[in-house]
């Protein structure tokens, strides 16, 4: 059942890609392994999230349990060759139904992907999806999580056009990082404008005016009227004895 083709795909992978939940159910019942990875490192659950197949994902995960069954936990925590879990993939696709399904199954809300350390909440903000961000926050996602560069979801939200995301994150307790608040940015802009307008130092006292440049040296004798300036005198000749 787990025989792979040249792309590393098993019958279970193909059933998910083709959107055949009945075949997924039969293959799982027959013992097809959900943890097999195809050429891109995707498991069948990754593919269900990528292709938008919640019915297939339900058959792969089985009924929700607390705690999740070991096989379900393995599927939820598996990463593809980009380091993404199925939850990361579902968030990037902005698929609310699949995200809800994965959360009910016990997916890790705060697992960071390896390239930049972004959590699913970071990805929801970057995808400009307030609905997904709120879903993750209500499920317990950390609003103050930091990526490898120290950037929080709020930092990412403030540098993107949707004004609802910063308000949502602050409502769930996301702190403004020191030196990264909107007020400090406005103050910096005002200081820059003052520097551009004033041009002097902070005491308000201007420095002494620059000394005038000396006039250019004139020729030894004035030029003839209407003529060119006189040439420099020739060097003195030594008297030959």
Query: The domain 109-174 belongs to what CATH superfamily?
Result: Ankyrin repeat-containing domain (1.25.40.20)
pLDDT band at 67 (very low <50, low <70, confident <90, very high): confident
pLDDT band at 228 (very low <50, low <70, confident <90, very high): very low
pLDDT in tens, 79-137: 999 999 999 999 999 999 999 999 999 999 999 999 999 999 999 999 999 999 999 99
Cβ 156 vs Cβ 125: under 8 Å: yes
pLDDT at 179: 62
Burial class of residue 144 (count of CB atoms within 10 Å of its CB; 0-12, 13-18, 19+): middle
Cβ 8 vs Cβ 38: under 8 Å: yes
Backbone angles phi, psi at 43, to 5 degrees: -85, 175
Domain 1-86 fold is 1.25.40
pLDDT at 190: 45
The angle formed by the CA atoms of residues 40, 97 and 132, to the nearest 5 degrees, is 90
> Within its chain, how far is the Cα of 124 from the centroid?
11
pLDDT in tens, 139-196: 999 999 999 999 999 999 999 999 999 999 999 999 986 665 554 444 444 444 444 4
Examine the pLDDT at 59 and tell me if it is beyond 80.
yes
Q: Fold match between 1-86 and 109-174? A: yes
Average pLDDT over residues 64-90: 94
pLDDT at 210: 54
Q: What is the CA radius of gyration of the chain?
A: 35
For the chain, what percentages of helix, strand and coil (3-state, to nearest 5) are there? Answer: 45, 0, 55
pLDDT band at 53 (very low <50, low <70, confident <90, very high): very high
Sketch the domain layout of the chain as residue ranges.
1-86, 109-174
pLDDT in tens, 191-215: 444 444 444 444 444 445 555 555 4
């Amino acid at each position: 059942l787990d025989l792979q083709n040249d792309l590393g795909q098993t019958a279970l992978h193909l059933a998910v890609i083709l959107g055949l939940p009945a075949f997924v159910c039969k293959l799982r019942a027959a013992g097809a392994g959900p943890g097999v990875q195809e050429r891109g490192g995707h498991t069948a659950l990754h593919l269900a999230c990528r292709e938008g197949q919640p019915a297939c994902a339900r058959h792969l995960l089985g009924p929700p349990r607390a705690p999740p069954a070991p096989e379900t936990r393995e599927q939820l925590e598996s990463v593809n060759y980009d380091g993404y879990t199925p939850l990361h993939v579902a968030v990037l696709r902005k698929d609310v139904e699949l995200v809800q399904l994965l959360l009910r199954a016990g997916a890790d809300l705060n697992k960071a992907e390896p390239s930049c350390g972004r959590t699913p909440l970071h990805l929801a903000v970057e995808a400009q999806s307030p609905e997904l961000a709120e879903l993750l926050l209500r499920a317990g996602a950390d609003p103050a999580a930091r990526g490898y560069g120290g950037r929080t979801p709020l930092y990412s939200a403030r540098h993107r056009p949707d004004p609802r995301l910063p308000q949502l994150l602050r409502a769930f307790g996301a702190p403004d990082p020191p030196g990264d608040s909107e007020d400090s940015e406005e103050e910096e802009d005002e200081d820059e404008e003052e520097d551009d307008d004033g041009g002097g130092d902070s005491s308000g006292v201007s420095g002494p005016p620059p000394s005038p440049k000396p006039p250019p040296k004139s020729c030894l004798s004035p030029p003839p009227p209407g003529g060119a300036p006189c040439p420099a005198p020739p060097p003195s000749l030594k008297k030959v004895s």
